[in-house]
Copies of this chain bind each other. A is one copy, B any other.
Amino acid sequence: MNSFTKFADAFQRRTPELPSDTPQTATVIDGRAIAEEITSGITSEVRRMKNSTGNVPGLALIMVGQGRDSQTYVRKKLGACEEAGIQSKISTLPENCTEDQVLNALSCFHEDPSIHGILVQLPLPQHLDEGKILNSVHLEKDVDGFHPINMGNLAMWGREPLFLPCTPKGCIELLIRSGVEISGKKAVVIGRSNIVGLPMSLLLQRHHAIVSVVHAFTRNPEQITREADIVVAAAGVPNLVRGSWLKPGAVVLDVGTNPVKDPSCEYGHRLIGDVCYEEASRVASAITPVPGGVGPVTVAMLLLNTLESAKRAYNFT
C-alpha cells in the first residue's frame, strides 16, 4: 500500500477553502472528558473485583526498540492502568532482538495468570514478522483484537469477537455518547490499516452503517467522503481532509496523530490530525480534536478490554 503518497497527492491538489470568516459550527467532541468518565467507571469495577475476588486485572506490554512515539504511547497506557488500579507489566526488548525473544516474552505473559491482556506495541522493527507475532498472541489475552480469528469474527454475522480493537471501539463509543445515530447512515473510513481502518469499517457495518473505505486507489476521495454522514479519518496524512471534503453537518472522527515540527513545544513537535480542523469545524456538526479526541478514548478502551478479560478469567460479573 502506498496510501501516503496518493493521499498526499490529493492533498496537494488543494481544494478550495471556505471564506475564513465562516464561523465554527461543529460541536467539539471532548475525548478527554469521555475517557475520564469511562475510566472512572472502570476504576470502580476494578475496586469491586478486588474486594470480591482479591484480584485485579493485569495488562502486559511488549515494546521492541525505543521509538519515541511508541514510548509516549506506552507511557500513556501504563499511566492509565495505574490510575484505574489495573496491574501492568512491561517487557522491553532491544531494537535488534530476534523473533524468538519476542515470542518468549509472549509465552511468559501467556503463562502468567495475573495477566489478562497482552499488547505488542506497534510498529515492530522491519526484521520482525509482525503477522507471525500477532498471530501468536493467545485469543483470550488479545486485548488489541488484532488476531485474524478475532477479525474474522468481527466481520462475520452471528459471530462475536472476544475483543473489539481499541480505536474502532473507542470511535463507536464517541459516536454513541455524542448521540450520533449510526444505523442506516453513510460512513466513510479513510485509510485501511489492519489496526484502524479495517476493523473500523467492519464495526461500523456491525452497527448497520453503509460503509465505504477510501484508500490510495480511490480516484476521487473528496467526492466519496462528501457523501458521508460519518467520516473516520485514519490515513496518517496531516491535514488530508479539507473542509471541502465534508458534507455540511457531517460528524468527523480524526484518528490521525501526525507529529509536525514546532520548536515552541516541549519535544520540538506537536501532533496534528488527518483532518484540517480549522476548516472542518466550520462544516461538520461535530468533530474530535487532535490531541484530546480519539486518543484518550482508545486508551480507555484498552483498560475496558483488560477488565472484561479479567472478569472472564475470574468468572466475575
Q: Interface residues, chain A, CB within 8 Å of chain B?
A: 1, 130-131, 147-159, 183-184, 192-194, 198, 202, 205, 208, 210-215, 217-219, 224
Contacts and interface: CB of A to CB of B under 8 A. Distances in A.
Q: How often does this chain occur in the complex, in copies?
A: 2
Nearest to A130: B158
Given A208-B215, A210-B218, A217-B184, A152 B157 contact: no
A152 B151 CA distance: 5
Nearest to A212: B212
Q: Secondary structure at chain A's binding surface: helix, strand, loop or mixed?
A: mixed
A146 to B, nearest CB: 9
26 contacts: A1-B157, A130-B158, A131-B158, A148-B152, A149-B149, A149-B152, A150-B152, A151-B152, A152-B153, A152-B155, A155-B155, A155-B202, A157-B193, A158-B194, A183-B217, A184-B217, A184-B218, A184-B219, A205-B213, A210-B213, A210-B214, A210-B215, A210-B217, A211-B212, A211-B213, A212-B212
A205 B205 CA distance: 15
Contacts of A131: 158-159
Contacts of A212: 210-212
A244 B80 CA distance: 54
Nearest to A184: B217
Contacts of A147: 152
Contacts of A193: 157
A151 B219 CA distance: 27
